[in-house]
Amino acid sequence: MASVQLLQATPPSLSSHKTPLYALDSCSNMAELKQHHSHIIRLGLSSDNDAMGRVIKFCAISESGCLTYALKAFDKMPHPDAFLYNTIIRGFLQSQLTRNCILLYSQMLQDSLSPNKFTFPPVIRACSVSNAVEEGEQVHAHVLKYGLQSDGFSQNNLIHMYVNFQCLEEARRIFDKNPKRDGEGEGDDEEKAGSASAADEGNRGGGEVVIVAAGVVQPWLRTTGGGAAMIVDGLWWCSRG
């Protein structure tokens, strides 16, 4: 009796479909994106986080993208990873949908995904803009929980957040714990969401500590006579004369 060999179907491999993936990275408008997205679907990669991550990133973050399209694609993902969550969170922030940032962050935690250094800056910024004090304090606790208290971008955004909350002592405490105070970190410019500034006249002979948000000068600072302000390493150092 002749033996029959069964051929096992193998799932599509990203290594065999590099060209369409690279094409996604060079999209310039939604018309091109939709064509490449259709190609990805025909290749059986509609549930692949890497392939769809490129689709969703363009739609959510690019100036030529469409956040609604990104959300529809995201909702169809069976097991979205942290990169996909981070991308949509950033898209919400860019569209000034700050409450949605916070809600999606909560969903990310419910899906048992660990946030990373690219998650926290936009979420902290969203809490700051939304004046979501309780949520902001919880996110700060998560920064500590996941060991990212030394990340410059998370620190800067926490300082900015607490300044907006009028919690200047907490902002100063975070600033003092930053050994570098330079905000350096990894990631592209889009990941470097937000910055903060702090001021301290203590190094100029003692006195009251002053902390102000970047681009926001407290009214009483405008009226001080003989005061001086300068930028040092991207941070405001103010002296009240």
In the chain, where the domains are located: 18-195, 197-241
Q: Which residue has the higher pLDDT, 15 or 168?
A: 168
Q: Give, to the nearest 10 degrees, the angle between helix 152-164 and helix 133-145.
A: 160
Assigned token pair, 85: 């969550």
CATH number of 18-195: 1.25.40.10
Task: Name residue 229's beta-bridge partners.
Answer: 238
pTM exceeds 0.85, yes or no: no
Max alpha carbon distance in the chain (Å)? 102
C-alpha 9: how far from its chain's center?
A: 39
pLDDT at 18: 58
23-81 pLDDT tens trace: 888 889 999 999 999 999 999 999 999 999 999 999 999 999 999 999 999 999 999 99
**Alpha-carbon distance values, 153 to 184, 191, 198 (Å):** 7, 9, 14
pLDDT at 179: 59
Neighbours of 157 (CB within 10 A): 31
